[in-house]
C-alpha cells in the first residue's frame, strides 16, 4: 500500500506509518507478479462522479467494462500518490476503472509506532483521487477488512522480510503482505500499482503474487521527487529547514553512487572497443603525452574491474553520507545497501543485471528511506 510517504505503500500497508520517529519504508506494465516502468502519465480528466464505497459487497456489485486498476494507500494523499492514480488511469484506459483504497492497516504498526496519530484526511483524499482520475475510493473499516478481529492466519514475508526495513521493523512486512492479500481479494483488480520508493515492499509483494499465484499484474511506478531531489514523503512535513538540508544527503548519496556507476560503465564500454589500452598507455607515455596516457590508463583500469564495480558505487554514496553525518543536525545512518531486487541480498562483485541502491537514515526524530535502481553489466 502506498503510505503517506512518497506515493508508495501497500494497501493499507505499503510503506510505513508516517509519523515522526517511526521507521518507514513505496515502466510499462509487466506480467503477473512483475512490472515494468510506466511512461509519464498524461494529465487526466477529473471524474465527473467519484464513488465512495465502504464495503466489499458494494465494490463487487460494480462490473467495469474494461480493466480494474487498483492503487492501495493508507490515505494522507499527496502528489506522489496522485502520480500513481494518474498512471492507473492511463493503464485502465477510458473504459476501465481506477479504484483507490484508503485503509490504515493496524497490522503494520509495531511497538512505539502510534497508530492513533497517523493522519486521517479522507475528504482531502477523495478530492485528490478524483482530480487524478479515480472512479472509486474504497475506504473500508477495520471490521470490514478483519471481520473476526486480528487474523489468526497471516502471510509471512520469509527471508526477504527480515533484512533492511524488516530488520528495523520485525514483522512489518508480514502485516503488509497480509493486508495486501486481503485487499487484492476484496477489490479483485486486473492490475495493482505500487511505488518504487518502497522498493523492498514492492519486492515482497511481487514475490507473494508470484509464489501464491495471485491473478494480478503488479506494476512499479518511479519515485516522485521534490525539486531539490528529496523523495516525496508525508514525513517531509516534520523536517525543519535545517533538518531538510541534512536530509538531502540521502538522495545526493544515491545520485553519487549512480554517477559513479555510469562513469564506470562508460569506461568499460570504451575499453571494450579498444582492448589494446594497456599498450596505448605505454606508447603515449613514451611520446610524452601525459594527459592522453592518463585517459588511456583510466580506460585500461576499467577492464579488470569487471562488469559490476559495486564497491565503487557504495564508496561514492558513503562519502556523501559521511559528510551529512557531520552536519548539524546530523544524519544518523541506519543502512546503505546495494542489493539484488530478487531477494534483497547484497550483490557480489561480479553481479550483472538489476540492482537497487537503498539508504535509510534518521534526521532529528524523522526516519527517511530512499533508493535508486541501477543496472550492472549493461551494454552501451
Residue by residue, pLDDT tens for the chain (380 residues) are: 655 444 334 444 444 433 343 333 333 333 344 444 555 565 666 666 899 999 999 999 998 889 999 999 998 898 999 999 999 999 999 999 999 999 998 888 776 666 777 778 899 999 999 999 999 999 999 999 999 999 999 999 999 999 999 999 899 999 999 999 999 999 999 999 999 999 999 999 999 999 999 999 999 999 999 999 999 987 888 899 999 999 999 999 999 999 999 998 887 777 666 655 555 555 555 666 665 555 655 555 544 444 348 999 999 999 999 999 999 999 999 999 999 999 999 999 989 999 999 999 999 999 999 999 999 986 54
**C-alpha 353: how far from chain center:** 18
Annotated binding site for ATP: 74-81, 195-198, 224, 232-235
The angle, 0 to 180 degrees and rounded to 10, between the axes of the packed helices 310-325 and 241-273 is 160
Annotated binding site: 74-81, 108, 195-198, 201, 224, 232-235
Q: pTM, whole model, 2 decimals?
A: 0.79
> Which pLDDT score, from 0 to 100, does residue 268 have?
75
Annotated binding site for beta-alanine: 108
> Which pLDDT score, from 0 to 100, does residue 305 have?
43
DSSP-assigned beta bridge partners for residue 2: 73
Residue given cell 481479494 in the structure block? 185
> Which pLDDT score, from 0 to 100, does residue 25 have?
36
**Catalytically annotated residue among 8, 42, 54, 81:** 81
Furthest-apart CA pair in the chain: how many Å? Answer: 82
Q: What is the torsional sign of CA 134, 135, 139, 143?
A: negative
Does 81 participate in catalysis according to the annotation?
Answer: yes
Task: Please say whether the beta carbons of 221 and 8 come within 8 A.
Answer: yes
In whole angstroms, give the CA distance from residue 369 to residue 362: 9
> Which pLDDT score, from 0 to 100, does residue 179 have?
95
Contacts of 288 (CB under 8 A, 6+ apart): none
Please report the DSSP string for 102-129 in residue order.
Answer: E---GGG--TT--GGGS---HHHHHHHH
Count Cβ atoms within 10 A of the Cβ of residue 32 and give its class: 0-12 exposed, 13-18 middle, 19 or more buried. Answer: middle
Annotated binding site for (R)-pantoate: 108, 201
Amino acid at each position: 500500500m502506498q503510505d503517506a510517504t512518497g506515493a508508495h505503500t501497500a494497501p493499507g500497508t505499503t510503506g510505513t506509518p508516517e509519523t515522526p520517529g517511526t521507521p518507514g519504508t513505496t515502466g510499462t506494465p509487466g506480467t503477473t507478479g512483475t512490472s515494468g516502468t510506466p511512461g509519464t502519465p498524461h494529465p487526466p480528466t477529473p471524474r465527473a462522479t467519484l464513488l465512495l464505497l465502504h464495503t466489499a459487497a458494494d465494490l463487487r456489485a460494480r462490473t467495469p467494462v474494461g480493466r480494474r486498476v487498483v492503487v492501495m494507500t493508507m490515505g494522507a494523499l499527496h502528489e506522489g500518490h496522485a502520480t500513481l492514480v494518474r498512471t492507473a488511469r492511463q493503464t485502465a484506459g477510458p473504459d476501465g476503472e481506477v479504484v483507490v483504497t484508503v485503509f490504515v492497516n493496524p497490522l503494520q504498526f509495531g511497538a512505539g509506532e502510534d497508530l492513533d496519530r497517523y493522519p486521517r484526511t479522507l475528504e482531502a483524499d477523495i478530492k485528490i483521487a478524483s482530480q487524478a482520475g479515480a472512479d472509486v475510493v474504497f475506504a473500508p473499516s477495520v471490521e470490514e477488512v478483519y471481520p473476526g478481529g486480528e487474523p489468526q492466519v497471516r502471510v509471512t514475508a520469509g527471508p526477504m522480510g527480515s533484512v533492511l526495513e524488516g530488520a528495523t521493523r520485525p514483522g512489518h512486512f508480514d502485516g503488509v503482505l497480509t493486508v495486501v492479500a486481503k485487499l487484492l481479494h476484496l477489490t479483485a483488480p486486473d492490475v495493482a500499482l505500487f511505488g518504487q520508493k518502497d522498493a523492498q515492499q514492492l519486492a515482497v509483494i511481487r514475490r507473494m503474487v508470484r509464489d501464491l499465484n495471485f491473478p494480478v499484474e503488479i506494476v512499479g511506478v518511479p519515485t516522485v521527487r521534490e525539486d531539490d531531489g528529496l523523495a516525496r514523503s508525508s514525513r517531509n512535513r516534520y523536517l525543519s529547514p535545517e533538518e531538510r538540508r541534512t536530509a538531502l544527503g540521502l538522495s545526493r548519496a544515491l545520485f553519487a553512487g549512480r554517477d559513479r556507476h555510469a562513469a564506470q560503465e562508460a569506461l568499460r564500454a570504451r575499453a571494450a572497443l579498444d582492448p589494446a589500452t594497456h599498450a596505448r598507455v605505454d606508447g603515449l607515455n613514451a611520446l610524452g603525452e601525459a594527459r592522453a596516457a592518463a585517459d588511456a590508463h583510466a580506460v585500461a583500469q576499467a577492464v579488470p574491474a569487471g562488469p559490476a564495480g559495486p564497491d565503487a558505487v557504495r564508496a561514492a554514496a558513503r562519502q556523501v553520507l559521511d559528510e551529512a553525518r557531520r552536519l548539524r543536525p546530523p544524519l544518523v545512518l541506519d543502512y546503505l545497501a546495494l542489493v539484488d531486487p530478487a531477494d534483497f541480498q547484497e550483490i557480489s562483485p561480479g553481479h550483472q543485471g538489476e540492482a537497487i541502491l537503498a539508504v535509510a537514515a534518521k534526521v532529528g526524530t524523522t526516519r527517511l528511506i530512499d533508493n535508486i535502481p541501477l543496472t550492472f553489466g549493461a551494454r552501451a
